[in-house]
Structure 1
Amino acid sequence: MQNISNLLNNLQLYIVIGLVILVIILLIMNVIIFKSLNRLERKYKKLVRGSSGKNLEDLIVKYFDKVNDAQKESENVKKMYDNLNSKIKRCIQKISIVRYRAFEDVGSDLSFSIALLDANNDGVIITGIYGRDESTTYAKPIDSGMSRYELSQEEKQVLNECINKGI
């Protein structure tokens, strides 16, 4: 026991210096921890700011509900878009017209053929033949780009132009 006491007395200066260094290291670590804690506290206050005393969990649940509502609304808008898109495909989207002289004895290009088609190439060709004594207008239905009636050269031309138009 005496030996240990003598040894401690001899090393007392070194022990004190070691403890002082340890205290300084602990103080530095303490300052770093307080700075980190302050940063964390500022971030926390930013996170819960404006919550007016409400529970943060309630706020998060409310935001998730809003996200779910937005998702449902988005799905409804997509359904409406698909519905409108299918209706639009049945609307007239391609138009082509050809004017020509049906008879040699008539002066100008007063006869015409006009094709009106939807996205599926369904529609009608309307032809007006102008003559000196009479004028005739008639229509031929078009299904999938084809007519079940015989088409004149001008009607075939206007149909091909109309089919080849981009939407």
Structure 2
Amino acid sequence: MDQWIERPFDWVTVGLLVVVLLLIIRNFALGSKLKKLRKSYTQFMNGNGVEGLEDIIIQMKERLQQQDEQQRSLKQTVNGLSETLRKKKGNIGIHRYNAFAERGSDLSFSVALINDEKDGMVLSGIHGRDETFVYAKPLKEGQSAYALTPEEIEAINLALQQEK
């Protein structure tokens, strides 16, 4: 009977030793993983602790605010440039014609200088045999307070076609 009692005790001891050995191996494996994790954390934090992380977040927030302000400023600048560009006097229409059908050639002209809002002017030069007359007429929304000739209207239409 004495042998029977010692035998289970031996098996329990051996079993416990195996469990302890497995726990020691597991402990070394976890220690190795913890060491790698600590190394990664140190590299990520670059030597900064939790207080340093708070400073980094505050700095990032300040940078974002500065970028937002700069973006608003750039949007205002772009809008201003768009408005200026829209009001430019860059659409030009030139129509040459013969003012006197019976003689001469296409030496007379009408030049329209207008912006996208149809504001600007029309210059007309009527070339005769001995002299040339030049007339300027202001334009507001494609119309003039002065009567426009068909040639001037043609020059305006040519300038408006450039707008598209």
TM-score, normalised relative to structure 1: 0.77
| Aligned CA distance change for structure 1 residues 135 and 40 (closer, same or farther; 3 Å) | same
CA contact (8 A) 1:123 1:141 kept: yes
CA contact (8 A) 1:106 1:131 kept: no
**TM-superposed deviation, 1:130:** 0.7
Report the equivalent of 1:57: 54
**1:85-129: per-residue Cα shift (whole Å, max 9, x none)?**
212221113112122221135533221111111121211111111
Report the equivalent of 2:132: 135
Superposition RMSD in Å: 2.8
Identity of paired residues, percent? 31
**1:121-166: per-residue Cα shift (whole Å, max 9, x none)?**
2111111111112211112222223334332222222211211223
- SS of the aligned residue for 1:11 comes to helix
Which structure has more RCO (C-alpha within 8 Å, separation ≥ 6)? 2
Aligned match for 2:41, one of 41, 44, 47 = 44
**TM-superposed deviation, 1:37:** 2.2
Report the equivalent of 2:150: 153
Pairing 1:102–2:94 present: no
Where does structure 2 lack aligned partners over 5 or more consecutive residues?
A: none
Q: How many residues were matched structurally?
A: 161
Where does structure 1 lack aligned partners over 5 or more consecutive residues?
A: none
2:45 counterpart letter in structure 1: V
